[in-house]
Amino acid sequence: PFENTMTWSHTNITNDEAPETIQLRLFNNNDEILKEVTLSGVQTEYKFTNLIPATNYSVFLSVSNVDGTRSFDETIPFTTKTSEPSISSVSLIRTDIEEFIISLKFDYLGATNINRIVIALRPINTNDKKYIHNVKLSNGDSVLEYFIEVDIDDRDYAQKELEFKIIVTNSDEINTSSKWIKETTEPLVSPSQASFISITTDSVTLVIQLPTIGTPPILDVSFTFTSTSHTHTHNVSGSYGIGDHIRVTVGGGRRGVDLKGGNRYMVTARARNFVGWSRFSNTTGFITMSHVPLPSSAPAEESLPIWAIILSGVIPCIAFIILAITTILFVCLIKKYQTRTKGYSLTTGSDLQADKNKLDHSPGELKSTDS
């Protein structure tokens, strides 16, 4: 911190004739009193400390006699020298996966204003390239606090935890820099409870909302499925933003989760960022569809084997064919018999008696006699 020493002397008097008190008041450029001291009349100097470089001040000096009357008043202006800027605090906070806000505060600027701010970023514990962001203030700026938005536009780069460094230059072209500082990270709150879109005998599709508070990116999401007989964990990796909704399908032959039909499963989820894992979400459950048909009021018919189904259709056809052939054969036999008896007639009993009478009365007929 800068300091300034004020000195003065008494003329044409001895110490015995010195004034009773000397009062000093230090003012800033806005005429605000920064400090006020009262000294004995024999003192001839005073040091003001913790002053800001390149800043205008003024000191009001007042001399009072024993009787309390002021014998001398004077205001003395001065300006502290320039120096390098003094950084009070700095932090880097993510607002999205690739977006950051730099918070930068100065104790003093070291000159009239700040002309340029350079931000360098790099992944922690790696030798990857730096990302440089320049902020040039064309007219300079004399404020002591800055909020700078940075978008690195590199998702792969942003998936790594970063550290940063600030280099500032004031209007006198004097610069200073911070050390490499790790980005400020905040733990995640729990994800939302899962909601289910579709459920089958061995799979489920669900949706959750990722944590709405914490530092992005969200790097991993873990789902735990627990039934009475077994537990499965399904992990999803990526680069997600705060509050994103993700849809996940597990089971159905997919690697890692083997859901069983007709089972109840309880589901929880948690998420991880650079800080670590969040707490688990609230638990919710679902029941996979059963492989066994649901009971009904009427007994279900047993399914027949394929050969029985085929025979059930073939046998009536064969019976019909046999009946048709039998009918045709019968008709043919009748026709054949009628053909053989053609030209012959049947004689009745009365016709035979008439013939007999004719023979009895015919001439030369033979008669039988008793012998």
329 — pLDDT class (breaks 50, 70, 90): confident
Q: What is the model's pLDDT at position 319? A: 76
How far the first Cα of the chain sits from its last, in Å, is: 190
Q: What is the model's pLDDT at position 214? A: 94
b/e 128-138 (16+ beta carbons within 10 angstroms → b): eeebebebeee
Q: Is the pLDDT of residue 295 over 70?
A: no
210 — pLDDT class (breaks 50, 70, 90): very high
Taking the complete model, does pTM exceed 0.75, yes or no?
no
Residue corresponding to tokens 């530092």: 215
367 — pLDDT class (breaks 50, 70, 90): very low
Q: Is the pLDDT of residue 256 over 90?
A: no
pLDDT digits (tens, 9 = 90+) for 238-252: 899 999 999 999 988
In whole angstroms, what is the distance from residue 4 CA to residue 2 CA? 7
| Mean local confidence (pLDDT), 342-369 | 48
| Mean local confidence (pLDDT), 187-204 | 95
b/e 265-291 (16+ beta carbons within 10 angstroms → b): bebbbbbbbbeeebeebeebebebeee
Specify the 3-state DSSP secondary structure of 314: helix
Q: Is the pLDDT of residue 370 over 50?
A: no
Q: What is the model's pLDDT at position 369? A: 39
In whole angstroms, what is the distance from residue 146 CA to residue 27 CA? 26
Q: What is the model's pLDDT at position 152? A: 86
Q: What is the model's pLDDT at position 341? A: 55
User: What DSSP assignment string belongs to 93-140?
Assistant: EESSSSEEEEEEEEEE-SSS-EEEEEEEEEETTS-PPPEEEEEEEEEE
| Mean local confidence (pLDDT), 183-203 | 94
How remote is the C-alpha of 309 from its chain's centroid? Answer: 55
Sign of CA dihedral 326, 329, 335, 338: negative
User: Is the model more confident about 276 or about 308?
Assistant: 276
Tokens (6 digits) for 48: 């003001």
Q: What is the model's pLDDT at position 301? A: 52
189 — pLDDT class (breaks 50, 70, 90): very high
pLDDT digits (tens, 9 = 90+) for 99-142: 999 999 998 888 888 999 999 988 987 777 788 888 888 766 77
pLDDT digits (tens, 9 = 90+) for 14-24: 556 667 788 89
275 — pLDDT class (breaks 50, 70, 90): very high
User: Is the model more confident about 154 or about 220?
Assistant: 220
- Single out the residue of 105, 107, 112 nearest to residue 166, CA to CA: 105
Q: Is the pLDDT of residue 255 over 80?
A: no
Q: What is the model's pLDDT at position 317? A: 77
Mean residue pLDDT across the chain? 82
| Mean local confidence (pLDDT), 23-44 | 89
pLDDT digits (tens, 9 = 90+) for 49-108: 888 888 889 999 888 877 777 777 889 999 888 888 989 999 999 988 899 999 999 988
